[in-house]
A and B are shown apart, each in its own frame.
Chain A
């Protein structure tokens, strides 16, 4: 590197190194022996002090640059939060759609700026509420959706032509059906698909690794469904983000920050290759690929993680895929604060935890943020806890001043060093996955499952040994704790869904319904784009369970190598 492009003059750096050594030798603080070395949560050793000597090789223009410009380390937009603050997108969903519709309206009235809709366990796995294996979970963990009619109820009186909706349709088998219902509902309301804005989760790792259901589709098929939805949106719903690679959930299952980013990016690489294979130019679909990451306990590592992810994504899109459109080069992401870091013990402490997590997300330049409610280690959030979480997000945005300047930690010797180290380690993991033949192969062999499970086990052992402190859990406990608040109870769901399903099956034209299901089976045989067929088929009032049964009959199911 030439002297002109270096951040610091070589002589100055030499002098800093020398003086740091002197400081270290005389400082009693630095000499103190620690019981164990300090590391970030993902295992990177941390020094007691960072100086310009740690970042002396950085080339500012090439490695850091300006917001909205290559390599996007400082942020994906030139104005960042000065231009437009992050979207406050609080997750909500429980019970039948009638109840969740009320919660959406409540959050919007209180100042949420987008909808973030989560679906119950049966819906996410492609089961009707009344299926014997699913019925005990109807309305739990999210809202129950069985048919197009439920989708109409869910968004009744909500201006979906104006506000953006995130559909937390994690599994492609759920996404291809539920997103089809969302689109069909919009069309029936007279809203053209081109006007819709929002995001679907649609991540095949969610189906095959993270939240495995009984009778899961094989990885290759789940991946195909995910790409079918991306292709459909690329053609017909240009303002929709058809996938949100869900590192958040990988992290909740136990992986490290390094694996979280490596796995989402290798997933995105696979989708790019598939779409190119299907005849699309990279810049036609890449601008709409989006990401979903966690904000966990290690404050600085999380901030550096977001910055490193932006640089890696930019380099891959430019070098490997030769993307030209700047929008293809931008790593845009939503953050949810880490649910797994919350405790059931002394639950009000979680308000403080989640606020720190949220702060890391915005110091890292997130496009939208959900802050967890304090009762999430115990139940679905109550109205009270959901409101406190929303207010925490608003306090961060309106009171702390963090929106006033872009990437305020950029240039910190520590943050820039960590950004470089994380980038290196993430790239190494990406290379390993590449050697295995890509992410779909790495899932098939169980390698990804193993990596996540191992990291989760190490994490748990660190908590149990006390090496990692968790306030209220392994230190500062309260004996005979009394729960300081009421817990949420899921409203009656099964009976309501059962009744609606009965009515719909009675009223619908059974020949039409049969034809719709046959069309789906035929599309599987012909290897066509399933989303094109399903958006049309849901009008015949067929249920999610009926559609997913056709898909499983056609493609077979898979036993995940989990244990």
Chain B
């Protein structure tokens, strides 16, 4: 039997909005993935948990505008720990100009406001 895809979902820093991250977490779970929801975290803890839990995907969520400061840090720390094979995706209110910047910092995909669940599920499924 194929191993279920394991995803951890975290809200970056102090971001206050849980609606998006919880909705995506529920949709991924309903699509058959295993989801671990971390709540608010800093990059260090996110990476530590991702490794401990042997997650395939690290899903980040933020609407506060802190993405340029914190998301690249997650990728950097994963590399330092030799865990760069994990897929890192981010969702939230990301201004269009920041999308190429995040991708050049090693974020695999960025999902802006209004993204259908199906796109996220398809993207993750196609990565494995």
- Taking beta carbons and an 8 Å cutoff, which residues of A are in contact with B? 121-122, 124-125, 127, 132-134, 136-137, 140-141, 211-214, 252-254, 340, 343-345, 377-380, 453, 456-457, 460, 464, 470, 473, 483, 487, 490, 560, 562-563
Contact = CB atoms under 8 A, between A and B. Distances in A.
Interface of B: 12-19, 22-23, 25-27, 37, 39-42, 64-66, 69-70, 93, 95-97, 112-114, 116-118
Given A137-B66, A378-B93, A457-B23, A344 B14 contact: no
Given A213-B40, A344-B93, A379-B65, A137 B117 contact: no
Interface of B is mostly: loop
B59 to A, nearest CB: 13
A38 to B, nearest CB: 24
Nearest to B70: A136
Given A141-B64, A562-B39, A563-B22, A344 B112 contact: yes
A456 B40 contact: no
Nearest to B29: A563
Nearest to B30: A457
Given A136-B70, A214-B40, A379-B93, 14 more contacts: A121-B15, A122-B14, A136-B13, A137-B14, A140-B65, A141-B16, A141-B65, A212-B40, A214-B41, A379-B65, A457-B26, A460-B27, A464-B116, A464-B117
Contacts of A345: 114
A453 B22 contact: yes
Contacts of B114: 343-345, 470, 473
A562 B64 contact: no
Nearest to A123: B14
Contacts, number: 98
Contacts of A487: 95, 97
Among the interface residues B17, B97, B118, which one has the most CB atoms of the partner chain A within 10 A?
B17
A354 to B, nearest CB: 16
Contacts of B17: 211, 253
Contacts of A125: 14, 16
Contacts of A563: 22, 25, 37
Contacts of B65: 137, 140-141, 379-380, 490
Contact of B18 (A253, A340, A457): A253
Nearest to B24: A460
The 5 closest A-B pairs by CB, nearest first: A211-B16, A121-B14, A344-B113, A563-B37, A137-B14
A563 B36 CA distance: 9
A460 B42 contact: no
B87 to A, nearest CB: 21
A171 to B, nearest CB: 10
A562 B37 contact: yes
Contacts of A344: 93, 112-114
B39 A136 contact: no
